[in-house]
Amino acid sequence: QLAGSDEWQSYGIAAGAGDGVDGLYVGANYFRQRGWPFTATLEDTVTDTMLYGEDNVGVFASYRRSGFSADVFVANAQQQTIGTQPIWDPFDTESHDPRVFVDLGYVHQIGEFQSLQLNFTFNHDDFDTPSYLSTPGNIVPFRATSRGYLLEATYRAQLTESMKLTLGGLTDIHEGGDSINAIPAFSEVWYGVYMQLDYEATDWLKLVGGMQGNLPGEIPGGIVPRAGAILSFTDNVTTKLLYGQAFRSPYQLERSIAAVPVIQGNPNLVPETIQTFDVQLAYHTDTYRLAGTWFYSDFNGVVTRAGAFPQTYVNQGNIIYRGVELENDWRISNRLQWIGSMTYQENTRGGVYNTTSAPNWMAKLGLAYTDPKRGLKLGLFDTFYGAQTVPATAAIVNPNPDAYHLLSLNSTLDLNRCLSCRSNASMRLQFLIQNLLDEDIYHVEFERELINTIPAGAGRTFYGGVQIDY
């Protein structure tokens, strides 16, 4: 159990039996909060406050036995929202999102060096919130239902002592629709195939190559390759040279939504593609790791909203991303560990720099202390985000998105170890502070780009709780 600011409460229970390979594990979680005060000026130029509350529950189960696996997750998420548009509705706006996930799998071993894995995955989602047609005293619900059925087969083989092969294929069925026919009822079948070959050419060189073929129904298909080389010059120095392409088919919403006068889908959209080059150099010992990565990505056929209202989705231009990342992990002593990373990226679209909402600078720094004898763990972690770029079309109605540090302090105490108590049950106390510096955090409103920002989180918050294990 954990409780804290803004009437935040969470409860969880889990149980299991098994040997780490085969077994049954089940659990349930419940989380609610009255909500933090969301105060903003929206597109209607009205300034108001609402409590951004949540009420969520979920249960899960996982079973493993002799190559068979089953995973089930059922949840319902309930949240206060500002509605389908960033305006203040004259009525309470709340969303409900029940969902079901089921995955059944089986691995059949074919001799010592081959295996065939089969999986069936089912996803069901019902989303319910007041629609844009609602008026005071006349709530018109927007109920969107989607179902997905995925069948996948993966063959793996150790061809030689130094070569491994992976082959696979999948069938992905999508169904859905909504109550106001903003997204007409649909049913479509997508297909995909993939392969990868891993080859250890020498003790210091590993080569990887592969491809993925996509046949997304009526949408144009395509093939995307990937390749890489991993060079281990010494026991402590490793270099990675990676190239890959990815492929995203437009969602049904982007192709068929009809929410006039706000947005109109475009059935002629084609898939987005991206190609990325990565070069990494890493140095590591038993207690220390330092790595530097340079990356370059070319993102083509970007699906974006365009035009006067009703806007529509179009494939418009490309975005070039380039940047560097530094990572560090240092076990200073048996009790003290330092981790950190820093990323700088810049992007260009149509000759204009930094048109996305991603900041140029991001960093993560953390210090962890562990005292096993006394059962004490302390962690101080900081995530830094640089300032975001506000779209030129946006009116300045809220504070602009300045750089901020999201600093947290987490501590746990094992009472059994602290008090040298022997018992069949162990008890841990937890105390957590988030946003330790009480930063005011605003993020760019990137969907319609008519106002500059909206609030993105509460100020400083405190939480405390207890965990009991049997």
List pLDDT tens digits, range 219-234. Answer: 999 999 999 999 998 9
Q: Which residues pair with 65 in a beta bridge?
A: 68
Between residues 263 and 342, the one the model is more confident about:
342
Domain boundaries along the sequence of the chain: 334-470
230-283 pLDDT per residue, tens: 999 899 999 999 999 999 999 999 999 988 878 899 999 999 999 999 999 999
- Cα distances (angstroms) measured from residue 243 to each of 171, 187, 209, 275, 340: 26, 34, 9, 7, 25
Averaged over 197-224, what is the pLDDT? 95
CA–chain centroid gap for 73, Å, is 17
Return the pLDDT at 323.
97
User: Could you report the per-residue pLDDT of 34-63, keeping only the tens digit for each?
Assistant: 999 999 999 889 999 999 899 999 999 999
Cα separation, 168 vs 152, in Å, equals 7
pTM of the predicted protein model: 0.88
pLDDT in the model for residue 441: 94
Residue 324 has pLDDT above 90, yes or no: yes
Mean pLDDT of 315-324: 95
Distance CA(376)–CA(418), nearest Å, equals 8
Share of the chain above pLDDT 90, in %: 76
Q: What is the pLDDT of residues 116-143, one digit of tens each?
A: 999 999 999 999 998 888 888 888 898 9
Measured from the Cβ of residue 423, the count of other Cβ atoms closer than 10 Å reads 10
